[in-house]
Amino acid sequence: MTEIPVRGEEATTRTRFRVSEGSCVDCAGDVAGAVQRLPGVRHVEVLSAAGVVTVEHDTRVSAADIRGVAARCGLGLVPAETTVREQKRSWWRRPKLLALAGASILLLAGLAAGKLIHAEILATVLYAATLAIGGFYPALSAVRSLRSRRLTISTLLVVAVVGAVALGVLEEAALLVVVFSLGEVLEDYAADRARGSIRALMALTPPIAWVKGPDGSLDAVPVEALVPGDPIVVRPGERIPTDGRVISGGSSVDQSPVTGESVPIQVSPGSTVFGGTINGNGALEVEVTCEYADTTLARIIQQVEDAQAAKGQAQRFADRFGAVYTPAMFVLAGFVALVPPLLGGDWREWIYRGLVVLVVSCSCALIISVPVSVVAAISRAARDGVLIKGGVYLETLGGIRAVAFDKTGTLTRGRPQVTDVVALEDHGSDEVLRLAAGVEAASEHPLAEAILRAAKDRGIRWERGRDLHAVPGVGVEATVDGRRLFLGRPDGAKGEDSNVTERAARLEAEGKTVVVLTEGSHHFGILAIADQLRDNVPAVVTSLRRLNVRHLLMLTGDNEQVAEAIARQAGIDHWRAGLLPEDKTEAVRELQATYGPIAMIGDGVNDAPALATADVGIAMGAAGTDVALETADIALMADDLAKLPTAIRLARRALANIRQNIAMSLATIAILIVAALSGRLSLTSGLLLNEGAALLIIGNGLRMLRPLHQPE
């Protein structure tokens, strides 16, 4: 189980469990109430759709105590870290399904005895057996709820069945139990599908890792037992068991399970790899860099599970509705059963109608449909490389009409590149680049790396310059090939050349940093360096505009000239340059005041204040980045801006799905109650219609598990 120390007056632990048996949809309140009564328990949180129970407690309470109380409430819990290996029991062996099967057989036999051979006594016995077997779990749940002083869906059914038996309609009572049990089993299955999307993430990690011993032997070690520093061997085609750093070997690695990036990346010694990714055709030796619970994939799984706690308005509405719905149905049913007869109506008729009101109320469709939709959407997004921290952020993202972009590392690659090499006075461009690389070889200036990388990419060898002398803000001098060369700003070079000045000005107008290479007044050439725009940025901007996100702003600390050039290339109409971090935060506030909810996208570290101020903070390339994973509301795991329009489309699809579910739930309740009050429904037909509508609504929520790119 996952235990996290919590500061307080006494030693407090937060223990995390996952549901292995039962449904925590109807019994969530029972479990929370029962566990809360244990001495030493501070707080209990049950995330029903995700199947997670978190308990904050002191040393007086053990995990076994908590699991025991939950078991008595009908909920099986297992320690959080062991569920990765959990072997799920086959559906046909589950107790509720077995009870449903037995009750169904007895019901069919009873109907045959009563309708075909007219053996009324035998039929009565078979119906009674149906009630005993099929009604066992609903009755058990109702008793637990009453002990917790709660009225639940199961309580509604039990009262309706008891009333039907009292009225002598034993056949309908048996039918009620079987239909309700069928609905419960199918609703459990639907909720399990949503939780299954989380288990699919867990299954990405292999159960064991091959640890290399000092003598070169390989030992199979459970992945949870790995510690930082362990050397592990990953064979071709295997999943990488944990986060680490490549020690030896080279291969291509499919990172799509974690980042959603479809193109495998090449790794070599020194490269970072993530647990759950798939090794290609080369063997790798990897040094473990963190414990299993701290891996990128494990943190993604926990945050997907916890996402249900950050509830949007729709989910809060469903929770509030559920809190008053069941008591209100009891009051309405009692009113229908008692008031009309007191005014002269037929007692039997109106009591029966009151029971029908209870029966058509026996559905948790609205209560479960919203969290199922949220968890399904967030799980789907996580599998495609978009980590959404909660329903509230999913909901907010769906309503976004304005986006602010950081420039460096978001719109641009974040790594300066040589874009132009202009040779002068009969010198070749390779010669200019070779001499410039020699000058910069001993320099630590940020532009030096770009020049050296450009020379290396062209296969140019250079001589390391000697007697380096840097002039801050101007340039650098060094001796290369016996020549004293200067590389720096055009206005820092000796001698004036109108041709050089004109060309440098033209390149600077394009938003590039320009340096000239000279020896005294002799000019060898001009180099232009820029942080290149990402290739897909114009397409992303176009996609956002098609999504009616029309207010796009770029925020940067660069100068106005560079900002304008990058914004024009990206297709962004508005930008603000020369901004300090606090200036970016103020710009976000101004956008909020003008356009309403705004998303801010950046690297998750330098832009933290602006990300926190925005209604939705989105971090780029967050895989393996602790700060980004923890601080952003949404994280694009791969360094791919194209995930942003995809995430917005998913959020809007989820919002539409949730609204559909709420509308269908409320409409179903209203129609069935009106029909019940008018006497147009029997107990059986009412429950059949109710459960059918509930399954339709939950199935609609599960559509969110479909891939993001798949059309509706």
CA–CA separation, 673 and 681 (whole Å):
9
3-state secondary structure of 680: coil
Catalytic choice (26, 188, 243, 406) = 406
DSSP helix/strand/coil, 529: strand
- For 525, residues 6+ apart whose C-beta sits below 8 A from its C-beta are 421, 422, 423, 424, 427, 429, 432, 436, 516, 517
Containing 168, the helix (H) or strand (E) segment is: none
The tokens for 10 are 């006494």
Count of all residues that appear for the chain in the document: 712
CB 557 within 8 A of CB 578: yes
In SS3 terms, 606-652 reads as CCHHHHHHCCEEEEECCCCCHHHHHHCCEEECCCCCCHHHHHHHHHH
d(CA 329, CA 354): 10
Would you state the structure tokens that stand for residue 530, as one six-digit string?
Answer: 């820029």
How many Cα atoms within 13 Å fall on the side-chain side of residue 104?
11
Q: What is the dihedral of CA 654, 656, 661, 667, to 10 degrees?
A: 170
Torsion of CA 271, 275, 276, 280, to 10 degrees: 30
Tokens 């109106």 sit on residue: 350
Place of tokens 């950081």: 406
CA pseudo-torsion sign 472, 473, 476, 477: negative
- Nearest one of 207, 123, 215 to 172, comparing CA atoms: 123
The answer to whether 493 touches 379, Cβ cutoff 8 Å, is no
The CA distance from 3 to 538, in Å, is 46
d(CA 462, CA 476): 17
CA 241 to chain centre: 21
Please tell me the distance from the alpha carbon of residue 154 to that of residue 140, in angstroms, as a whole number. 9
3-class SS shares of the chain: helix, strand, coil, % to 5: 50, 20, 30
- By the 8 A CB rule, do 306 and 49 touch? no
Determine whether 406 is an active site residue.
yes
Burial of 548 (0-12, 13-18, 19+ CB in 10 A): exposed
Active-site residues: which are they? Answer: 406
